């Protein structure tokens, strides 16, 4: 069957052929491929430049998600893309159905830009901040970690980074989105980590036992489209973040910690999420700390009437520990 017969006309959130995807990404890594992902807003601005209308390199194809002409890539790579279901035809041009981003010495596969599908698998600068916060906690921790849960794992970046540093520990990558679980399995295989399991679950409802470390970077925006990776629900998008605090409080082992990287809408100088999360931690008997890692992110969202009362959106890290 020729490529013209196999290519997709519409990209999936994340392709289903995991074996072929692993082979594709390994082939790309062999070329020395690397790409630092950017925010969707930056991505749109850079791609809007006239000279960026078409791809001219591997980074353009697999990082910037630009369309490309047949003949740009080696036939072997195009064949692997086709086999994986990661090749989309747009008239006379082709496009990759996945993006590949660099982090922690690995290459992570996730959804192509723009991540407009309801079940898109997102990876962005917040992923990098989240992983940094999780690893900083691990470095300062003085108790052993035998069991880890990454709630809403997406690409699996945080759980995989922990598994690399915790040989022998059990790591459960949890998500309600099947596309995210496919991406997490592919990325775990590419990183060569052991003891990693993916589990479809709403929070920890379908996962048993207690955990020494629970980490999460949940959706925290108000998204009219209801995209799973973005919409947090509840007051000012904080609903899912608060639900994770409650779920973790019930499942932390003695000495266990939650590291939650999320966003908080600030209203007239006050942080309603901090107040609600602190109350939940105190009620559960958890010691907790809270800091802003970026006081002003996603400023463009303030144009949305849903944020009419907010003066800024901060990125925050909540750490809660069972004594």
d(CA 94, CA 88): 6
d(CA 306, CA 320): 29
Tens digit of each residue's pLDDT (9 = 90 or more) over 81-138: 999 999 999 999 999 999 999 999 999 999 999 988 889 999 999 999 999 999 999 9
* Tokens linked to 255: 């000495």
Which helix H or strand E contains 264, and what residues bound it?
strand 252-266
Q: Is the pLDDT of residue 76 over 60?
A: yes
Three-class secondary structure of residue 152 per DSSP: coil
Q: Which of 219, 222, 268 is closest to 242 using CA atoms?
A: 219
- Name the DSSP letter for residue 226: -
List C-alpha distances in Å: 265 to 41, 133, 300, 322: 19, 20, 13, 27
Q: Is the pLDDT of residue 9 over 80?
A: no
When pLDDT is cut at 50, 70 and 90, the band that residue 223 belongs to is confident
Tens digit of each residue's pLDDT (9 = 90 or more) over 162-221: 999 999 999 999 999 999 999 999 999 999 999 999 999 999 999 999 999 999 999 999
Compute the CA torsion angle 182, 187, 192, 198 (nearest 10 deg): -40
Look at residue 118 in the predicted model and tell me its pLDDT: 87
Tens digit of each residue's pLDDT (9 = 90 or more) over 262-306: 999 999 999 999 999 999 999 999 999 999 999 999 999 999 999
Look at residue 1 in the predicted model and tell me its pLDDT: 37
8 A C-beta contact, residue 23 and residue 190: no
Q: Is the pLDDT of residue 16 over 60?
A: yes
d(CA 279, CA 78): 53
Q: Which of 126, 118, 73 is closest to 96 using CA atoms?
A: 73
């Amino acid at each position: 069957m020729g490529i013209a017969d196999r290519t997709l006309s519409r990209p999936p959130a994340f392709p289903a052929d995991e074996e072929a995807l692993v082979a594709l990404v390994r082939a790309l890594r062999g070329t020395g491929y690397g790409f630092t992902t950017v925010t969707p807003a930056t991505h749109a601005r850079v791609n809007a430049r006239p000279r960026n209308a078409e791809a001219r390199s591997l980074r353009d194809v697999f990082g910037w998600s630009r369309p490309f002409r047949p003949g740009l890539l080696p036939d072997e790579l195009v064949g692997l893309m086709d086999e994986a279901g990661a090749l989309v035809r747009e008239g006379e041009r082709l496009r990759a159905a996945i993006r590949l981003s660099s982090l922690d010495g690995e290459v992570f596969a996730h959804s192509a830009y723009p991540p407009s599908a309801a079940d898109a698998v997102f990876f962005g600068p917040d992923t990098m901040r989240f992983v940094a916060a999780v690893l900083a906690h691990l470095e300062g921790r003085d108790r052993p970690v035998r069991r880890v849960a990454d709630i809403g794992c997406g690409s699996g970046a945080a759980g995989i980074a922990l598994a690399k540093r915790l040989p022998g520990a059990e790591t459960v990558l949890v998500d309600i989105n099947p596309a995210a679980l496919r991406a997490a399995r592919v990325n775990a295989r590419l990183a060569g980590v052991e003891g990693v399991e993916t589990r479809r679950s709403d929070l920890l409802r379908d996962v048993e036992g207690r955990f020494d470390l629970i980490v999460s970077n949940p959706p925290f925006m108000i998204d009219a489209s209801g995209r799973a990776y973005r919409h947090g629900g509840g007051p000012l998008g904080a609903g899912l973040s608060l639900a994770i605090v409650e779920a973790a409080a019930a499942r932390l082992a003695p000495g266990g910690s939650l590291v939650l990287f999320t966003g908080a809408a600030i209203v007239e100088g006050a942080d309603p999420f901090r107040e609600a999360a602190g109350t939940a931690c105190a009620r559960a008997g958890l010691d907790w700390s809270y800091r802003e890692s970026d006081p002003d992110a996603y400023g463009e969202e303030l144009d949305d009437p849903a944020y009419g009362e907010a003066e800024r959106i901060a990125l925050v890290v909540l750490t809660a520990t069972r004594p």
